[in-house]
Structure 1
Amino acid sequence: YAVKRKFILPLFLVIQIIVVKTIGLFPDFVEAWYSKGFYPKLGFVSRKALGWMPFSLGDVIYFILILLLFRWIWKHRIGFFKEWKTNGLTILSWVSVFYFFFHLLWGMNYYRIPLHEKLQIEKEYSAKQLKTFAEKMLLKTNELQLKITKNDSIAVIIPYSDKEIYNLALKGYTNLPIDLNEFHYEDKSIKSSLFSYPLSYMGFGGYLNPFTNEAQVNNLKPKYTSPLTTCHEMAHQTGIGSESECNFIGFITASKNEDLYFQYSAYSFALRYALNNLEVLKEGSSKPFVEKINAGVLKNFDENELFWDQYQTPINSLFEYFYDNFLKANQQKDGMEGYSKFVGLAIGYEKL
């Protein structure tokens, strides 16, 4: 009986994968019953229950689980491969449990109807449209930088604490356009990650804990980027799985915020992506735009680049590879490249 019991959870994992992938073939069903039905109620309760805590419970749970994992590996280090069948079944059992709770508590949102289909906008764009968008983002970013600093050569420095940024982020979500109102947000649960240092080496500006529904922000990175990152992670909390869609909603909510620092974070973010996308289309095509960017804005861009460069190690590349494949396994065929796809959504949405 004990031997048979070892196979229950690994077998359940196989069944779960089949069920999840089958349900995923019906995005209308997922949208109606999970993303707009079960999940919003669950998300509201979890944010209400944990949002008041000054630290991330999810990070604490992860830390304990990592310790237990290392303890288990150390305990079974002798003869690990000799007992490969038993140890393999144990690992699959844990994966089965995680797979179940991940999809129950948040993960099914990966299979909902794509936002561009709901808004009936075209994600693809021409080089001309991209240049027009880049020009708009450039003018707006320069205008905001000058309005904030009163000097086009001074970098923007956000004067708020992390907690103040998290509180201010809510205001952008109250100003959502009517056609995006389904992503309204109440009762925040946003925390500075206890793992900000490791996150920097992993190349992450933040993440959503799918088990506790806490939005985690890497508070070591340049602060001028934090408003956009916060709004991005909040978008995940509203039930959006796609990274490009979270970038889009993050951009909309930060740019609609009455606070100038939030607007600057949004437009400078969009400008950076637009310039990168121009380079992808044709090397050197971003140069005419870069030459028109205020020196203060460029200082912010350099600040961001220098920050990430200091954490660039093989660990970063490993996690990028892992996360790229994780996204591709969860309905995001563009993987890490999907982050930049929000430009297409922004261009298409402007035309509505």
Structure 2
Amino acid sequence: MNRKYILPLLLLLQIVIVKTLSLFPQFVENWYSKGLYPKIAFVSRKLFGWIPFSTGDIMYFILIFFLLRWIWNHRKGFFKNWKTNGLAILSWFSVFYFCFNLLWGMNYYRVPLHEKLAIKKEYSLEQLEAFTTKMIAKTNALQMQITGNDSLAVEIPYTEKEIFHLALKGYQHLPQNLQEFQYKNKSIKASLFSYPLSYMGFGGYLNPFTNESQVNVLKPKYNCPMTTCHEMAHQTGIGSESECNFIGFIAAIKNEDIYFQYSAYNFITRYCLGNLEKIEEGKSKLYFEKINKGVIKNFDENEAFWESYHTPIDTFFEYFYDNFLKLNQQKDGLESYSKFVGLMIGYEELSD
């Protein structure tokens, strides 16, 4: 067989294997998420965690540079030599797909968290309304405690590095039934691609090849604690965005630092209001009126930031990432981010 066909054929074989394994989440849970992956993560974070800058971002930069150079060198007659060029692209994608799934990606196919905790994800309107009221009260109380004035926005006095360090403390206080998501060997970085991430609409991401949490440090700082805790949840072996929001939220509210608590409660309050609007337009208005003006100023700060970077670029990446999530066991796509509200409602009922 011609060698140029080997990697493309292996890509097809890999897809079949991964999709077959996705049918056996308990096997993935035991063999990969609790077996092989923690060892890989330990090595990756030991190798890259101590480096003060993002090695993963630099790796991406180099790969993008060589990709663009390859496209430029093959620009003439690119479509005429479609077969050779197509096989080359498939070969590179085959290597990428293998590394992605081996180093982190198989976590998408583990046992869902709501099944492990035996909690319901679905909730009634009455449950959401009661939960929203509770979250607003928590957010308002923390905002008043921090500022002493219900009309002042919260400003976090820490540097990004201090936030990354403080985030560890929340994971040290996770409840007993979430102890498997303990975080070890810190590898959290300010992304060198914060500007591109802002235009793409991302607050951060996990680099699956270096196991570094990448945080967009341009977004409003009051969001940074919750974003950091979310990306750390990915590092513990969680693929689902709703589950990362859930674990990140728990880690942030269990942190003794009041700014982490505020960041988390502000975050979930916004999602609660959004979920009310999805159920019935205008449903959130009554609850919005109960929120302190200072909290609303933080809402506005967040909205103004993302609006300032809104272009067709973030629309494209939203579409791309939505479909990427759907291909990886998250049928709700980007909507899965808001599903953590249901997890929290179910978890609170379990804890009562």
Q: TM-score, normalised by structure 1?
A: 0.99
CA distance in 2, matches of 1:178, 1:262: 20
Deviation string 1:44-70 (CA, Å, 9 cap, x unpaired) is 221122111110100000000000000
1:284 paired residue number: 282
**Unaligned stretches of 5+ residues in structure 1:** none
**Unaligned stretches of 5+ residues in structure 2:** none
1:127 paired residue number: 125
AA in 2 matched with 1:138: I
- 1:244, distance to aligned residue in structure 2 (A): 0.2
1:159 paired residue number: 157
Deviation string 1:134-166 (CA, Å, 9 cap, x unpaired) is 001100000000000011110000000000000
1:46 maps to 2:48: no
1:326 paired residue number: 324
TM-align CA RMSD: 0.6
2:258 paired residue number: 260
AA in 2 matched with 1:148: I
SS in 2 for 1:283: coil
CA distance in 2, matches of 1:129, 1:19: 41
Number of residue-to-residue matches in the alignment: 350
- 1:186, distance to aligned residue in structure 2 (A): 1.0
1:16 maps to 2:14: yes
AA in 2 matched with 1:297: V
Deviation string 1:174-216 (CA, Å, 9 cap, x unpaired) is 0000000000001110000000000000000000000000000
2:238 paired residue number: 240
2:208 paired residue number: 210
SS in 1 for 2:196: helix
- 1:24, distance to aligned residue in structure 2 (A): 1.1
AA in 2 matched with 1:228: M
- 1:8, distance to aligned residue in structure 2 (A): 0.4
2:229 paired residue number: 231
2:61 paired residue number: 63
AA in 2 matched with 1:133: F
Deviation string 1:205-243 (CA, Å, 9 cap, x unpaired) is 000000000000000000000000000000000000000
Could you tell me which of 24, 27, 34 is aligned with 2:25? 27
SS in 1 for 2:158: coil
AA in 2 matched with 1:105: L
2:72 paired residue number: 74
CA distance in 2, matches of 1:31, 1:206: 25
CA distance in 1, matches of 2:71, 2:119: 50
AA in 2 matched with 1:331: Q
CA distance in 2, matches of 1:48, 1:222: 30
Could you tell me which of 180, 189, 192 is aligned with 2:190? 192
CA distance in 1, matches of 2:276, 2:36: 40
CA distance in 2, matches of 1:130, 1:94: 46
CA distance in 1, matches of 2:257, 2:20: 44
1:94 maps to 2:92: yes
CA distance in 2, matches of 1:73, 1:45: 34
1:299 maps to 2:315: no
AA in 1 matched with 2:314: N
AA in 1 matched with 2:289: E
